């Protein structure tokens, strides 16, 4: 059991440091929400489990973490992807900002048209469309951009995991296993 405790402690320290470094990497790359950690950052966790004699380590994060890290090719966006974009736009408050800037742009165009065409008697009063219409517009525009240009990843995960920590973990595990095996052999020779 001492072997499992040593391995568990080593993996727990590794997991805690990895989680903290990934969250800091996201902050450094501007992946935040209103100055706080993003949903992605808050969802990063790890699990250490013992199944029989094997000890396993799992880093857990949402699937879209891979797209944030590596980016995505230019391609169509699925219905589920569009729903995710809609939820993201709501969380970030993008819809309200988009509605305001869109209304201001339409008012500017209308005033230019009024200056050029004075014969028209009535001009329509422009208003902000409903939240749902604006949400659909934002979702469409983001989806269209992803389809045309894709998304360049920010490498928050790749840069952290490739900094030599996995090799160090392997070395530390080898030392723990070697010392425990030697202790086991010494104990057996005393019998």
For 50-72, the pLDDT digits (tens) are 777 777 888 888 888 888 888 88
How many residues does the structure list for the chain? 191
Which comes out higher in pLDDT, residue 187 or 84? Answer: 84
What pLDDT, on a 0 to 100 scale, did the predictor assign at position 1? Answer: 42
For 9-48, the pLDDT digits (tens) are 888 898 999 999 999 988 888 877 777 778 888 889 998 8
Residues whose CB is less than 8 angstroms from the CB of residue 46 and which lie 6 or more positions away in sequence, other chains included: 15, 16, 18, 19, 57, 58, 59, 60
pLDDT at 190 over 50: no
Average pLDDT, the chain: 81
Pair 146, 77: CB distance under 8 Å: yes
- HSE of 151 in the Cβ direction (CA atoms, 13 Å)? 19
What pLDDT, on a 0 to 100 scale, did the predictor assign at position 55? Answer: 78
Whole-structure pTM over 0.75, yes or no? no
Phi, psi of 51 (to 5 degrees): -120, 105
CA distances from 111 to 72, 118, 123 (A): 41, 11, 10
What pLDDT, on a 0 to 100 scale, did the predictor assign at position 184? Answer: 52
Pairing type for strands 54-60 and 45-51 reads antiparallel
Residue 191's pLDDT band (cuts 50, 70, 90): very low
Token pair belonging to 8: 């568990």
Only one residue has tokens 């199944």, namely 51
The distance in angstroms from the start CA to the end CA of the chain is 20
């Amino acid at each position: 059991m001492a072997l499992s405790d040593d391995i568990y402690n080593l993996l727990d320290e590794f997991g805690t440091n990895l989680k903290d470094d990934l969250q800091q990497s996201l902050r450094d790359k501007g992946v935040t929400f209103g100055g706080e950690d993003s949903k992605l950052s808050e969802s990063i966790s790890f699990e250490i489990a013992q199944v029989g004699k094997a000890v396993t380590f799992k880093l857990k994060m949402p699937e879209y973490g891979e797209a944030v890290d590596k980016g995505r090719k230019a391609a169509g966006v699925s219905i589920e992807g569009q729903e995710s974009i809609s939820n993201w736009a709501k969380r970030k408050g993008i819809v309200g900002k988009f509605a305001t800037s869109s209304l201001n742009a339409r008012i500017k165009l209308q005033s230019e048209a009024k200056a050029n065409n004075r014969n028209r008697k009535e001009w329509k009063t422009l208003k902000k469309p409903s939240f749902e219409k604006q949400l659909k517009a934002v979702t469409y525009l983001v989806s269209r951009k992803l389809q045309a240009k894709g998304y360049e990843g920010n490498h928050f995960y790749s840069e952290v995991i490739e900094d030599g920590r996995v090799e160090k973990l392997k070395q530390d595990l080898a030392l723990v296993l070697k010392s425990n095996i030697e202790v086991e052999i010494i104990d057996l020779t005393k019998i």
